[in-house]
Chains A and B, each alone.
Chain A
Amino acid sequence: MPRGTPRDHGMSHRVLVCDDALFMRTLVGDILEQAGFTVCGHAETGVQAVAQYKALKPDLVTMDIVMPDMGGIDAVREITDFDPVAKVVMCSAMGQQALVNEALKAGAADFVVKPFQPNRVIEAVQRVLG
């Protein structure tokens, strides 16, 4: 079992999944749960993501970049302002490198690129948690 996976700690890491598309939320949720993580909440907008983060204090957040009412980058900014050690993994479509770059500067801890390959998602999550 690689380092950083939930079983190392005897409990499952809790993940907040943020994406405006139900499909993507389900996909990311499935990948994470199959690897032994617990999806503790979902958010469809940046505002929701920030509120959910404050309420749930998850171990990790997956964050879409483009979402209604508040984009992923601003959400990252707010979340890391609230919790400087928050761990946010950006989920980005190809061709959004500049936005990903901005998100990283705003405090995101890693990124994965759509279409998602389950192993790359898990690698990124483990890097961030490890």
Chain B
Amino acid sequence: MESHRLLALFLTEGRELLNRVDAELMVLERAPHSRASIDAAFRALHSLKGMSATVGFESTAAALHAGESILDAARNGMALSGELLGALFALTGGTRHALDAAEHRLPEPDVLLTLARRLEASLEASRLTVSTVLKRPEAAQLVRDATTTGAACWCVAVQIATDAPMPEARATLLLRRLSAIAPVVRVAPGEGIRASDDWDRRVTIWLGEGSSVDHIEQVARGTGDIGECHVVRDVVPSLGSRHVEARTVRIPAQRLDDLLDLVGELVLARDRLLRVALPTADEPTTVALEEASGLVGKLREAILQSRLVPMADIMDRFPRHVHDMAQSLGKDVELVMEGRELEVDRSLLEELSEPLLHLLRNAVDHGVERPEHRRACGKPARGRLVVRVARDGAMVAVTVGDDGAGVCRDRVIAAAQARGIEPATPEALDDAGLLTLLAIPGLSTASEVTALSGRGVGVNAVVHRVQSLGGRVDLATVPGAGTAFTIRLPLSVAMLRALLVRVANETYAIPLSLVHTTSRRGDHAPADHVAGLQLHGEQLRIVSLRTRLGLPAADDVSGHLVVLDGSAGRFALLVDACIAQQEIVVKPLQRVRGAAPRFSGGTILSDGTPSLILDINSLN
């Protein structure tokens, strides 16, 4: 024994390893084919063997080696019989005696030699049966695959360096190194492809439990000549999914959000850099800057791509929802869905889920009539609900339509009037005007509208939510024929184009999708915040941003008017100046208690200054 320290390590670590082997053997008693357990036990025995040999316990090492051989044979398809497991349990017991002896500075117990012989004999006996039962190596592979597909594992994606000689041999070395720290459950592509000239030097290895991401990466990179190496959590793919291209990996959503966040910042930093450096850059610098700039753009595209998820992820829940709602309301509704395969940014998907459920509920509750009523109107008893998703330029448009009674204008107008709101032209109220009324907070819950055929519940919430994400809602309704709400949202809600405005030396951002027009204040009559603005024959209220933010009014009549489409209608916002349009990355704000909810988020502008995003509906 070299030193006290080594002896202490041998004892503590050795006992830990023995406990691990026992635990795995107990698993194997119930599930003799568990590859993970076989491998874990194998590794522990292997470590113990090395340690025992190091301290001079050669019989112990021999016995452990024999145990290892049994597990190795099991890896290759030999069934672990009760007898073999018994021999392995005896091995851990015997090794414990050896450790006890070492602790008391006694020589290795004789029993270990006997044990080694017994294990060797058991293996020999079993091999004879194996060779007759499991001749085909594929049989063992099939058993193994059946037990591991779908199990949690690590996915190690490696690209052998492009300039490395003998990539196939390098991959073999990589596999060997990884198999020493965790069981290799799958490898793609297989050896045949790796040996061919067509192989692209990429190899993906699925490793069973038993190591950490850092350790795996360290061991993989330690192989040498490794170009790229990524380690992520995964589940063991089935044998069918051998193609690396077709495979998917699971990664925490937060990482995707972080990536998007970072690339957003990178885009802004790039813009800043270009603005600062380009004017004075010489030719080579300009070329390099532009190349880097182009790559940043591509990177952002790639990251946005990686965040795409099919609409089906939320839409596939709808049939059940609609079915349950219809049943509880005594209605008969058929749901038709289109475009569920369309892919959208995952943040968008999350944001769409709630408003869409709202609209579906409305359609079933207030749109589609009862079967007897429908028959009386000459319609099929079964109502029809359509959810249609389509790309609309840089927006995604989701329509929820029904073939129900339509929105009753008179009732909506009456409800608005009851709240003291007088529509400008009630007799010629178009669908947009109707939506504006429906979106008046409070009106939506008025029982005289909701209990009858009119709509209302939650329309305000839907409109408000969608607008705060930089989108808009449209309504089309025909009495007796049906209603359709269309939500349009930018494809990515984390980035949006904004109009930057200045008030009292502060810059604020307004989602550009909500901006109707801008104009100089001087073009109109001087006005304060109660005065109105005449636009295309429409009288608009003017709201001063200074006043809303609690700042003193400007002392002159300079400034700009920004005409906005708010959820409660169009109005003009008075600001000191309109500065620019810019792509911004939306960052959520922590709500400060007691603070006025004037802002829907924050952002960093391309010149590096922070800016708040105005929640325009809170201003009107």
A: which residues have CB within 8 A of B? 84-85, 92, 94, 97-98, 100-101, 104-105, 109-111, 113, 123-124, 127, 130
Contact = CB atoms under 8 A, between A and B. Distances in A.
B168 A101 contact: yes
Interface residues of B, number: 12
Given A104-B176, A109-B173, A111-B173, 10 more contacts: A84-B50, A92-B166, A94-B165, A97-B168, A97-B195, A100-B166, A100-B169, A105-B172, A123-B224, A127-B222
Contact of A104 (B50, B169, B222): B169
Nearest to B194: A101
A85 B166 contact: no
B195 A98 contact: yes
Interface in B225-252: none
A110 B166 contact: no
29 contacts: A84-B50, A85-B50, A92-B166, A94-B165, A97-B166, A97-B168, A97-B169, A100-B166, A100-B169, A101-B168, A101-B169, A101-B172, A101-B195, A104-B169, A104-B173, A104-B176, A105-B172, A105-B176, A109-B173, A110-B173, A110-B224, A111-B166, A111-B169, A113-B166, A123-B224, A127-B222, A127-B223, A127-B224, A130-B222
Contacts of B168: 97, 101
A97 B166 CA distance: 6
Nearest to B167: A97
Interface string B154-174: 000000000001101100110
Contacts of A110: 173, 224
A-B complex: 10 closest residue pairs judged by Cβ atoms: A100-B169, A113-B165, A97-B166, A104-B172, A101-B169, A101-B172, A104-B173, A127-B224, A97-B169, A97-B168
A118 to B, nearest CB: 15
Most chain B Cβ neighbours within 10 Å, of A92, A97, A109, A123: A97
A124 B172 contact: no
Nearest to A126: B224
A81 to B, nearest CB: 11
B510 to A, nearest CB: 56
Nearest to B54: A85
Interface in B167-215: 168-169, 172-173, 176, 195
A113 B50 CA distance: 31
Contacts of B224: 110, 123-124, 127
Interface in B463-505: none
Nearest to B166: A97
Contacts of B172: 101, 104-105
A127 to B, nearest CB: 5
A113 B173 CA distance: 14
Nearest to B164: A113
Contacts of A127: 222-224
A92 to B, nearest CB: 8
A120 B168 CA distance: 18
Nearest to B49: A84
Contacts of B169: 97, 100-101, 104, 111
A84 B72 CA distance: 15
Contacts of A124: 224
B137 to A, nearest CB: 15
A104 B176 CA distance: 8
Contacts of A94: 165
Contacts of B222: 127, 130
A110 B222 CA distance: 11
A124 B170 CA distance: 12
A29 B182 CA distance: 36
A101 B50 CA distance: 26
Contacts of A113: 165-166
Nearest to B65: A84
B160 to A, nearest CB: 12
A104 B166 CA distance: 12
Contacts of B173: 104, 109-111
A94 to B, nearest CB: 7
Interface in B32-83: 50
A93 B168 CA distance: 15
Contacts of B50: 84-85
A5 B283 CA distance: 46
B52 to A, nearest CB: 13
B447 to A, nearest CB: 76
Nearest to B174: A104
Nearest to A123: B224
Nearest to A107: B176
Interface in B363-399: none
Contacts of B195: 97-98, 101
A101 B169 CA distance: 5
Contacts of A111: 166, 169, 173
A91 to B, nearest CB: 12
A130 B177 CA distance: 13
Nearest to A114: B165
A111 B166 CA distance: 9
B230 to A, nearest CB: 21
A98 B196 CA distance: 11
Contacts of B166: 92, 97, 100, 111, 113
B515 to A, nearest CB: 60
Contacts of A100: 166, 169
A124 B165 CA distance: 13
